[in-house]
Amino acid sequence: MKIFYYDHHTFPLPENHRFPADKYRLLRQRVQTAGLVVADDLVAAPKITAVSLQRAHLPSYLQRLEQGLLDRAEMRRIGLPWSPELINRVQYTVGATTATARTALRDGLALSLGGGTHHACRDHGQGYCLYNDVVVAARTMQAEGRVRRVAVIDCDVHQGNGTAEIAANDPTIFTFSIHGEKNFPFRKIPGDLDIGLPDGTEDAAYLRQLEPAVEQVLATRPALIFYLAGADVHVNDRLGRLALSAAGMAARDRLVLRRCRQAGVPVVVLMAGGYGRLLTETVALYFQTVQITTEFAHS
């Protein structure tokens, strides 16, 4: 199974910044150390093209973003300080998701050690998301004639508002998000299927809601599914407010991957959010998703 990474494209952050950028490097190192895949299957991601970015975003936004012309309020909404290195990095993030999609269509399953920037809207970024990698990748696969219908299973604890906004009038992209109802973003943009969960939701209640929703997604007969796993549903996540255990998250991953594989639908697996009180815990939860995905790739 191919695994794409991009963490070597670094960008500067102030000391003690809330965004845990090191998690991606530590995750890749753990994947390498564990020997989950042969060396040739751990692939440095390509950079996304400007043409592909325009499939999800307004040219005026892209130009202002890339030239550093967003104002202070716009950058505060994104939550990361602008730099040329940041723009370079996130273009590789989207490149990774797009390459993962292309590979999943060939192999049935592929994974990016990151991705899931689902808060980015057509004309602005927010919540650490500058470009919407899922919509860019989905529409690039459509433009290349590889697929027509695509679906998103978004299990990040925060609603995928950007994906819902961009795909709102697009019947070829079905968006499903299961998230904390009272968590960010506080103004939700409805997708095709949304499940808002109360604070403190635990494993059994979460899985009871997820299982029939996955069946609804599969009933739309997508040719490709983007699965945003999300480590931020964990009970110890700083920004999560739900209460899933690591075992519950493993059951979640297996439920999604098992049903997609049984239905014969290729899956793009993305890490999405994770803001554990301990960085090592977030990395361990991401690694668990990688490990489970490789099990399905070999089954």
pTM: 0.98
CATH topology of domain 3-298: Arginase; Chain A (3.40.800)
The answer to whether the CB of 173 falls within 8 A of the CB of 220 is no
Domain ranges in the chain are: 3-298
The radius of gyration of the chain from alpha carbons, rounded to an integer in Å, stands at: 17
Task: Determine the 3-state secondary structure of 83 from DSSP.
Answer: coil
Question: Would you write out the chain's pLDDT as a tens digit for each of its 299 residues?
Answer: 999 999 999 999 999 999 999 999 999 999 999 999 999 999 999 999 999 999 999 999 999 999 999 999 999 999 999 999 999 999 999 999 999 999 999 999 999 999 999 999 999 999 999 999 999 999 999 999 999 999 999 999 999 999 999 999 999 999 999 999 999 998 999 999 999 999 999 999 999 999 999 999 999 999 999 999 999 999 999 999 999 999 999 999 999 999 999 999 999 999 999 999 999 999 999 999 999 999 999 88
In terms of Cα–Cα distance, which of 137, 127, 136 is closest to 158? 127
